[in-house]
């Protein structure tokens, strides 16, 4: 029996995107592109494409538990990415499983709305996410609208407000927060990383592309992949920012669907091929 993996392993606990651009599919592509073996625990099935979400079928919480126990009991998990968590029962199952298996390097992307604007979470689940998953996660990665909803306030309008909201989310139990500035304006796309030692600014040129489906999933799973490979949180955030920027820069070389297409997860390897 092989008990030691020669490559780092990460698991994504998230919803499935039938069009392949976000969710579980984006996470596994990101893991693979960054040299990490990916496992998965599916929390929900979605019927969606580049134009929107037409249906959601939630996986029963006891089966989420069964998937987690199967994966964690056999694989040496180096990092965890959590994405779509629609219901309180699912959040409880995930939290209990992570505690039971002493999970490490947990990155939680509090997905609430799809890129198309379709809601992905029940209102009743929001408070449970904060109570159960924030204290377990090593990092949460809300975008500007998600941070505002979690804090029940207006959306941050500048970097100082982003940092303030990051600290407010830490006051709610989060160990570290990456506020993503993709919904902002200006020549740079700026993310603010807030942790116990202070704040860090991560910036990249703001790219003009309509292919932005799955950007949040891709960034959070890239952070998890880097953590699984042994990078520090600050370094992992920088690695993920650079990877997503390159995937966005190459996104227009893809022609997928008739709506908001995906980023190019395999921009480096496909170009070489």
Which residues form the catalytic set? 180, 212, 214-217
Structure tokens at 1: 């029996």
Nearest to 204 by CA among 190, 217, 222: 190
The 3-state secondary structure of 191-231, one letter per residue: EEEEECCEEEEEEEECCCCCCCECHHHHHHHHHHHHHHCCC
| Alpha-carbon distances, residue 40 vs 8, 130, 181, 247 (angstroms) | 14, 23, 27, 22
- Compute the C-alpha angle 193/133/146, nearest 5°: 55
Q: How far apart are CA 146 and CA 174, in angstroms?
A: 14
What is the DSSP secondary-structure string of 7-54? S-EEEEEEEEETTSSSHHHHHHHHHHHTT-EEEEEEEEEEEEETTEEE
137 neighbors 106 (Cβ within 8 angstroms): yes
What is the rounded CA–CA span in Å between residue 168 and residue 151?
8
User: Contact 81/10 with Cβ under 8 angstroms?
Assistant: yes
């Amino acid at each position: 029996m092989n008990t030691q993996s020669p490559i780092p392993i990460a698991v994504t606990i998230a919803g499935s995107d039938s069009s392949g651009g976000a969710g579980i599919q984006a996470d596994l592509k990101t893991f693979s592109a960054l040299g990490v073996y990916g496992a998965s625990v599916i929390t929900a099935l979605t019927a969606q494409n580049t134009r929107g979400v037409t249906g959601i079928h939630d996986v029963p919480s006891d089966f989420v538990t069964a998937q987690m126990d199967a994966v964690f009991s056999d694989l040496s998990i180096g990092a965890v990415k959590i994405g779509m968590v629609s219901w309180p029962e699912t959040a409880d199952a995930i939290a209990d499983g992570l505690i039971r298996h002493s999970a490490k390097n947990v990155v939680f992307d509090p997905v609430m709305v799809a890129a198309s604007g379709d809601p992905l979470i029940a209102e009743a689940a929001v408070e449970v996410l904060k109570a159960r998953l924030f204290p377990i996660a090593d990092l949460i990665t809300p975008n500007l609208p998600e941070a505002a909803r979690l804090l029940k306030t207006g959306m941050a309008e500048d970097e100082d407000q982003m940092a303030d909201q990051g600290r407010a989310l830490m006051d709610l139990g989060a160990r570290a927060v990456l506020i993503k500035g993709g919904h902002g304006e200006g020549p740079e796309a700026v993310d603010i990383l807030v942790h116990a030692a202070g704040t860090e600014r991560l910036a990249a040129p703001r790219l003009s592309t309509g292919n932005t489906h799955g950007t949040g999933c891709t960034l959070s799973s890239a952070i998890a992949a880097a953590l699984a490979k042994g990078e520090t949180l600050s370094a992992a955030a920088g690695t993920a920012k650079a990877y997503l920027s390159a995937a966005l820069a190459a996104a227009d070389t893809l022609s997928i669907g008739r709506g908001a297409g995906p980023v190019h997860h395999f921009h480096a390897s496909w170009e070489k091929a």
